[in-house]
Amino acid sequence: MSVDLSPVPDDRKPKKQVTTAERQIPGAFEGETVTRRRFMTGTVHTAGAIAAAAFTLPALGFAMGPVFERRPERWEAVGEVGDFPDDTYVPRTMTAVPGIGDVGKTTVYIRRYNAEIDSQPPDEFGQFIAISTRCMHLGCPVRFVEASARFICPCHGGVYDFEGKRTGGPPVRPLDRFYTRVRNGLLEVGPRFSVNSELKRFSPRDPGMPLDGIGQYLYPARQTERKLPGT
Amino acid sequence: MAKLTPPLPRPLRPKPKPPSEDGNGPTTPKEKVAEAGIGLVDWVDERTALSGGARWLMFRKIPKGTNWFYTLGSATLIAFLSQTVTGVFLAMYYDPSPTRAYDSVRHLTNDVFLGELVRGMHKWGSTVMVILVFLHMARTFFWGAYKYPRELNWVIGVVLLILTLFMSFTGYLLPFDQRSYWATIVGVAINGTGPLIGPYLNDFLRAGPEFGATTLARFYALHMLVLPGALIAMIGAHLYLVARQGTTAPPWMKADAKPELRQEAT
């Protein structure tokens, strides 16, 4: 009497593959294990999946394309250097998105750098401060109120100080800014960037996305718009 | 005895009288028209067997105590159909380009015959539909009609609610006036506050980092092709489950005392 010493019981052992010949299927080939019916079913399913993917994936990519497309950098002259004082803002209209008429225009508040007010030392793009009117709560247009030297949002009561830092209301970070540079005595306004509460530059984010703490990781920079390299 | 004469050729045989002349068929013109109609329906039904499905859908048993609150779902469906029809015809005049959208809406409202009415129906109908969806949902909730075996239909209904709100969001931009533009800026910003994927969803919705040249066309395509397609498919599933499972009695109805009356009729 033989004793089974194998640790695996018989019914757990891998089953030997059954060939179609052993299953008495007519016309079976030598060593064939996949029945022709199963092979046919698999072929049809695969062909269907390939056909569906052949139009679905390109269509999806087509719709998703703009998410990966880098927007070209634009610079626009907004006036002569002497037009902009350092103790108040001058509003200027510039084109944020070309080719769609008035819809693509936006207002920018511009002034010269003022060492007594601005906490950040100026670099080549910071000789003039250009502040975006996009409120950092949900994107309504803010306006600069001369009397109180503050930016005020009409929608939900966001208030920003002269530097664009939040002083009241629901906004989550200071107002966005634009790069500025001087070319042939004309002030040019370039791409937008976002700032955290210390006015450190970040790649542009949408309204409602905080940049302090883990905010910059929760709301990552996108492919479509980046701050200028080295700033 | 075998036949002595061969049969007459087919064209020479005497024709049997049509049923109309044998004294049993329709005689008056009205009866003839009715007969033709029935014949047509029979012709289609013989080939499609649709009448069984129609009977299954239309002639259902409904519980005792069914009342006007049970019409809220049909009312929502009618609101959706109204939105579909008016929307299709608005699309004949609307131009989803950022420079011409506002003018095309103004033209179809002020100049086109009945344009104000059709656009008004679509505009106010959207609000009515959202209200009806919520009333319908409240009825289902307070009646307890979401319970077994109707949980899946509740889930489909929630999907329909979300799709309806997406329709409202994408449709709001299309008149392209100041209000719709800024409301969409705000709506997209709210959408973006979802962590990690919010920024990318925003880029997808706007087709770029800013409200751009194709944002309006994208919203238009979502509003009139993608979302209605999903809505129609989901409404089909919703109605199928309603017809299959039947409606529930109001919670205040007591079951019939006689056990033979409580038996499920099949």
Q: Where are the domains of chain B?
A: 68-245
pLDDT(A14) > 90:
no
Whether A85 contacts chain B with CB within 8 A: no
In a domain, A85, yes or no: yes
Q: Does the pLDDT value for residue A1 go beyond 60?
A: no
First-to-last CA distance in chain B? 58
Return d(Cα A208, Cα A204) in angstroms, integer: 12
Give the mean pLDDT of A153-182. Answer: 95
Burial A81-120 (b: 16+ CB within 10 A, else e): eeebeeeebeebebebbeebeebbebbbbbbbbeeeebee
Average pLDDT, integer, range B79-105 = 96
* Domain match, A51 and A136 both: no
Alpha carbon separation from A35 to A24, A28, B250 (Å, rounded): 11, 9, 56
State pLDDT tens for residues B206-233. Answer: 998 889 889 999 999 999 999 999 999 9
A63, A206, A221 member nearest B189 (Cβ)? A206
Instruction: Output the pLDDT for position B13.
Output: 81
Q: What is the CATH number of the domain that holds A213?
A: 2.102.10.10
Calpha distance B241→B145 (Å, rounded): 13
Asked whether residue A140 carries a pLDDT value surpassing 60, the answer given is: yes
Interface size between A and B, measured as CB pairs under 8 A: 88
Chain A residue numbers with beta carbons less than 8 Å from the beta carbon of B206 are: 66
pLDDT at B3: 59
More confident residue, B47 or B27: B47
User: What is the distance of C-alpha A106 from the center of its chain?
Assistant: 20
pLDDT tens per residue across span B149-178 = 999 999 999 999 999 999 999 999 999 999
Domain edge (last residue) among A21, A44, A67 = A67
Query: Is residue A228 less than 8 Å (CB to CB) from chain B?
Result: no
**Quick one: A49 and A111 in the same domain?**
no
Tell which of A176, A202, A206, A225 to mutate to test the B interface (max B CBs under 10 Å): A206
Q: Say if A100 is an interface residue toward chain B (CB within 8 Å).
A: yes
In this prediction, residue B31 carries a pLDDT of 86
Longest dimension (CA), chain A: 109
- Interchain contact A27–B (C-beta under 8 A): no
Residue B257 confidence (pLDDT) above 80: no
Report yes or no on A201 lying in a domain: yes
Record the tokens describing residue B162, joined without a space: 């979300």
The CATH architecture of the domain made up of B68-245 is: Up-down Bundle (1.20)
A111 and A50 assigned to the same domain: no
Q: Does A224 contact B at CB distance below 8 Å? A: yes
Structure-token match 């299953």, residue found: A23
Domain that holds residue A37: 12-67
Q: Would the pLDDT of B81 be above 90?
A: yes
Same domain, A81 and A173: yes
CB B99 within 8 A of CB A103: yes
- pLDDT level of residue B205 (50, 70, 90 thresholds): very high
Please tell me whether residues A141 and A188 are part of one structural domain.
yes
What proportion of chain A, given as a percentage, has pLDDT over 70?
93
Residue A117: pLDDT over 70: yes
Name the 3-class secondary structure at B156.
helix
Instruction: Evaluate whether residue A16 is within a structural domain.
Output: yes
Q: How does residue A120 score in pLDDT terms, banded at 50, 70 and 90?
A: confident
Residues A52 and A91 in one domain: no
Chain A CB contacts of B210 under 8 Å are: 71, 96-97, 104
Q: Given a cut of 60, is residue B85 above it in pLDDT?
A: yes
> A40 and A109, same structural domain?
no
Residue B2's pLDDT band (cuts 50, 70, 90): low
Q: Do B189 and A99 touch (CB under 8 A)?
A: no
- Of A123-127, A218-222, B262-266, which gets the smallest average pLDDT? B262-266
Q: If you search the block for the tokens 């664009």, which residue do you land on?
A: A164
Q: Is residue B44 predicted with pLDDT exceeding 80? A: yes
Residue of A99, A218, A224 lying closest to B209 (CB–CB): A224
pLDDT-wise least confident of B17-21, B30-34, B76-80, B132-136: B17-21
Structural element, H or E, at residue B148: none
- Quickly state the pLDDT bin for A122 (edges 50, 70, 90): confident
Q: Which pLDDT belongs to residue A223?
A: 86
Same domain, yes or no, for A115 and A20?
no
Contacts 24+ apart (CB under 8 A), B19-25: none
Nearest alpha-carbon partner for A176 in A155, A156, A160, A187: A160
Averaged confidence pLDDT in chain B: 91
Q: Are residues A60 and A141 in the same domain?
A: no
Place of tokens 């990519």: A61
Q: What is the DSSP letter of B142?
A: H
- The residue-averaged pLDDT of B240-264 equals 82
Q: Is the pLDDT of residue B48 over 80?
A: yes
pLDDT at residue B11, rounded to an integer: 81
Do A32 and A119 lie in one domain? The reply is: no
Percent of chain B with pLDDT over 70: 92
Q: Which residues contact A143 (CB under 8 A, 6 or more apart)?
A: A133, A151, A152, A154
**A5 falls within a domain:** no
Is A17 within a domain?
A: yes
pLDDT at B262: 66
Q: Nearest chain B Cα to A154, which residue?
A: B182
User: Is the pLDDT at A9 greater than 70, yes or no?
Assistant: no
Counted domains in chain A: 2
Q: List CB contacts (< 8 A) between A155 and chain B.
A: 186
Residues A58 and A85 reside in one and the same domain: no
Determine contact: A222 vs chain B, CB below 8 A.
yes
Q: Which of B95, B174, B186 to mutate to test the interface with A (most CBs of A within 10 A)?
A: B186
The answer to whether A112 and A138 are in contact (CB under 8 A) is no
Answer yes or no: do A21 and A122 share one domain. no
The stretches of chain A forming alpha helices (DSSP H) are 36-64, 215-218
* Cβ pair B209:A222 closer than 8 A: yes
**pLDDT reported for residue B105:** 96
Least confident of B26-30, B117-121, B217-221: B26-30
Q: Confirm or reject contact between A207 and chain B (CB < 8 A).
A: yes
Give kind and range of the element (H or E) at residue B115.
helix B115-143
A2 in any annotated domain: no
